[in-house]
C-alpha cells in the first residue's frame, strides 16, 4: 500500500468509514497550527500538535527530538486511535509536518498510516468540504512501542556520512553555511550531501512521481541499495525526505536531532561550502 493517498481516495475511504484522519497543520515560524486548524480542517479530523505530541522539549537533543512515548501515546489516544486504526495524516500543503507524523507513528509501531498528498490544499482543490467545528473523538487504546523503525543519532549520522550517504535536505545556502536563520552555527555535518527537499515537490505541494524522485536521488549518490540517512535543521524535513524516498522505494533513516543537535556540542566538526567536506 502506498504511503500517500489522494484527496478523492481519502474522501471515498472516509465515506466507507475505513480511516481516521488527523490534522497536523504546522509552521515553524508563522501562524500556529491550532489557529490554522480552527480556520479550516477536514470534517471529523482532530488536531495533533507537532511540538506537544510528535516531539520532545527542545534541548541538547535538538529542537524537535523524539517524543516521550507516554506523551505521544496520550496524544494519539486523544485522537481516537486504537492499535488497528487505519490513519491518514495531513497538513496545509507540502506534507512537512504530516511526514513527521507518518514517521513517528511508524516509530511507535503503528504502520497503518498514510499521508494526504498535497494536504488540505489538495482536499479543497478537489472540491471537498472543510469545517471549523472541532472534532473530539472518543479516546482510543493505542499502545506506543518506541523504536520500531531505526533512527540516527549524532554518532550514527557521522558514520552514515562516511559509509553511506547522509542527505542534508535544507536549502543550499544553509548547507553551504552562507546563512543560518535558526541555529547558532552555520554549515553541515562533514560528509553530508545536499539535496534540498524543495526539489522533490511539485508546484502544488504534492510529491514528484517516484521515477523523478529516484532520478534526483541518484544524482546525489542514492540508489535503492545505498545506506542513506536524512538530516535537516531539527528532524522535521528529514522525515519529509524519508517519506519522499519511501514513495520511490528507497529506505532512509532520519537523523531526528539533525543540525540543531549536532551544533549543541561545540566539539563536533562543522563543514561549510558546496562540497560534502
Asked if residue 50 lies in contact with residue 102, where contact means CB atoms within 8 angstroms, the answer is no
From 22, 232, 250, 263, the catalytic residue = 232
Distance CA 174, CA 13 (A): 40
What would the DSSP string read from start to end of 97-130?
Answer: HHHHHHHHHHHTT---EEEETTHHHHHHHTT---
Please answer whether residues 94 and 240 qualify as being in contact, where contact means their C-beta atoms are separated by less than 8 angstroms: yes
204: its cell numbers: 502544488
Please tell me the total number of residues recorded for the chain in this structure: 277
Active site residue 79: no
Q: What is the CA radius of gyration of the chain?
A: 18
Q: How many CA atoms lie within 13 A of 35 on its CB side?
A: 4
Which of these, 103, 135, 178, 129, lies nearest to 22 by C-alpha position? 135
**Catalytic residue numbers?**
232
Amino acid at each position: 500500500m502506498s504511503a500517500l493517498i489522494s484527496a478523492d481516495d481519502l474522501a471515498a475511504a472516509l465515506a466507507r468509514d475505513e480511516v481516521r484522519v488527523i490534522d497536523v497543520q504546522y509552521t515553524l515560524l508563522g501562524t500556529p497550527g491550532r489557529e490554522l486548524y480552527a480556520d479550516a480542517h477536514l470534517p471529523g479530523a482532530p488536531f495533533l500538535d507537532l511540538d506537544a505530541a510528535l516531539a520532545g522539549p527542545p534541548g541538547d537533543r535538538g529542537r524537535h527530538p523524539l517524543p516521550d512515548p507516554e506523551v505521544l501515546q496520550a496524544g494519539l489516544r486523544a485522537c481516537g486511535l486504537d492499535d488497528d486504526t487505519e490513519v491518514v495524516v495531513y497538513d496545509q500543503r507540502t506534507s512537512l509536518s504530516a511526514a513527521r507524523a507518518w514517521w513517528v507513528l511508524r516509530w511507535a509501531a503503528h504502520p497503518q498510516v498514510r499521508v494526504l498528498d498535497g494536504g488540505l490544499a489538495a482536499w479543497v482543490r478537489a472540491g471537498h468540504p472543510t469545517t471549523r467545528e472541532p472534532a473530539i473523538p472518543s479516546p482510543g487504546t493505542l499502545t506506543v512501542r518506541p523504536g520500531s523503525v531505526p533512527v540516527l543519532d549524532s554518532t550514527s549520522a557521522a558514520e552514515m556520512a562516511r559509509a553511506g550517504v547522509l542527505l542534508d535536505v535544507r536549502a543550499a545556502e544553509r548547507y553551504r553555511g552562507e546563512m543560518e536563520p535558526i541555529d547558532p552555527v552555520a554549515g553541515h555535518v562533514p560528509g553530508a550531501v545536499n539535496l534540498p527537499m524543495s526539489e522533490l515537490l511539485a508546484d502544488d505541494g504534492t510529491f514528484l512521481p517516484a521515477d523523478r524522485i529516484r532520478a534526483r536521488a541518484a544524482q546525489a549518490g542514492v540508489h535503492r541499495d545505498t545506506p542513506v540517512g536524512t538530516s535537516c535543521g531539527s528532524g522535521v524535513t528529514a522525515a519529509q525526505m524519508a517519506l519522499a524516498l519511501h514513495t520511490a522505494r528507497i529506505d532512509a533513516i532520519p537523523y531526528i536531532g539533525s543540525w540543531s543537535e549536532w551544533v549543541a556540542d561545540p566539539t563536533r566538526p562543522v563543514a561549510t561550502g558546496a562540497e560534502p567536506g
